[in-house]
C-alpha cells in the first residue's frame, strides 16, 4: 500500500475550526497550514480541512471549489425509508438472511453505509489513518440524523488497522465478510466516481495483498465472503459459488 501523507497537510480556512484542525494535524502527524497562505508554490498535493459539509479531502485543484467527504445520504435511486429494500446486487450477494457483516476494505464507506441502511449490522475495517478520520466524521454526522436517533440505531463499528491482521481476532464471527479491494482501473466511470476513486488510489495505491486478504476472510467468515470488483477481473478466490453483477461490476460470492 502506497501512502502519500508526506504530500498532505491539514488546511484551516476558518478560525472557528482552528482547535479541531490542530487536533487532527497532531493525530495524523501532518503540517497545519492557513488556507490564505497557500499558493501555487505550496508543496502539498492533498489537504484535509473542515467545511460545512464535514471533514473534506481536497487536492490542489479542488481546494476552493469542492472536495470530497464521506457521503452519508442514500445513493441516487435508493429509497429513503429504513430499512431500505434488499433488492440490488449488493444485497443479493451478501444474502438477505445475513445479519452481521464486516467490510474489510472500507474506503469511502459507501457500501458499508448502504448495507447499514438496509438494516444489516455492519463493522468496518480501514487501515489508512486519513480515510479513518474521514469515515469517523461521516459517522458522527450520521449519528445526528433524526431517523437514526429516533430508532436508536447502532451505527457501523469502525476498526483501525490491517484487516489481514484483525480478521483472525474478531470477537464474534460475522455471517459475511465483504471485500472491495483496489483493482487496476480499466473502465470509464462517472465523473464523481472517477474522482473519488482516483484520489483514493493516489492515497492508498493498489491492494497488492488482496490475495492474502481473501484467504484471511475465508478463514474468519461464518457463512460467506463477497468480493466486489470489475466485471472483467479474474475471480479473486477462483470459481465463486455464485455471482451477481452488471456490465461494470461483479459481486463474487464464496460460501463456506
Q: Are residues 110 and 41 in the same domain?
A: no
Domain that holds residue 10: 5-59
Residue 61 pLDDT level (bands cut at 50, 70, 90): confident
CA separation for the pair 19, 25 (Å, rounded)? 10
CA atoms within 13 A on the CB side of 251: 20
Average pLDDT over residues 103-123: 96
Tell me if 76 is assigned to some domain: no
Query: At residue 179, does pLDDT exceed 90?
Result: yes
Tell me if 166 is assigned to some domain: yes
Q: Are residues 249 and 137 in the same domain?
A: yes
**0.75 exceeded by pTM:** yes
Q: In the listed set 16, 44, 59, which residue is the last one of a domain according to the structure?
A: 59
Q: Are residues 93 and 53 in the same domain?
A: no
* Cβ-Cβ contacts under 8 Å for 96 (sequence gap 6 or more): 86
The string of pLDDT tens digits covering residues 89-100 is 999 999 989 999
Report how many domains make up the chain.
2
Q: Are residues 126 and 32 in the same domain?
A: no
Average pLDDT over residues 138-151: 96
Q: In the listed set 39, 59, 79, which residue is the last one of a domain according to the structure?
A: 59
Amino acid at each position: 500500500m502506497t501512502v502519500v501523507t508526506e504530500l498532505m497537510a491539514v488546511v484551516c480556512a476558518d478560525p472557528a475550526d482552528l482547535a479541531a484542525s490542530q487536533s487532527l494535524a497532531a493525530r495524523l502527524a501532518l503540517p497545519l497550514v492557513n488556507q490564505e497562505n497557500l499558493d501555487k508554490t505550496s508543496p502539498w498535493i492533498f489537504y484535509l480541512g473542515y467545511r460545512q459539509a464535514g471533514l473534506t479531502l481536497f487536492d490542489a485543484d479542488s481546494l476552493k471549489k469542492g472536495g470530497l467527504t464521506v457521503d452519508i445520504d442514500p445513493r441516487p435511486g435508493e429509497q429513503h425509508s429504513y430499512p431500505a429494500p434488499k433488492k440490488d446486487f449488493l444485497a443479493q450477494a451478501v444474502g438477505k438472511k445475513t445479519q452481521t457483516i464486516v467490510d474489510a476494505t472500507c474506503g469511502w464507506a459507501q457500501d458499508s453505509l448502504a448495507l447499514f441502511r438496509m438494516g444489516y449490522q455492519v463493522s468496518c475495517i480501514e487501515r489508512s489513518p486519513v480515510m479513518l478520520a474521514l469515515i469517523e466524521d461521516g459517522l458522527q454526522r450520521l449519528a445526528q440524523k433524526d431517523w437514526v436517533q429516533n430508532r436508536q440505531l447502532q451505527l457501523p463499528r469502525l476498526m483501525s488497522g490491517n484487516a489481514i491482521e484483525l480478521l483472525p481476532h474478531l470477537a464474534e464471527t460475522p455471517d459475511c465478510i465483504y471485500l472491495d479491494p483496489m483493482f487496476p482501473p480499466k473502465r470509464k466511470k462517472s465523473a464523481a466516481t472517477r474522482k473519488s476513486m482516483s484520489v483514493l488510489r493516489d492515497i492508498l495505491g493498489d491492494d497488492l495483498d488482496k490475495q492474502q486478504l481473501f484467504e484471511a476472510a475465508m478463514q474468519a467468515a461464518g457463512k460467506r465472503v463477497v468480493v466486489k470488483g470489475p466485471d472483467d477481473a479474474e475471480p479473486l478466490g477462483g470459481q465463486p459459488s455464485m455471482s451477481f453483477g452488471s456490465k461494470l461490476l461483479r459481486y463474487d460470492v464464496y460460501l463456506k
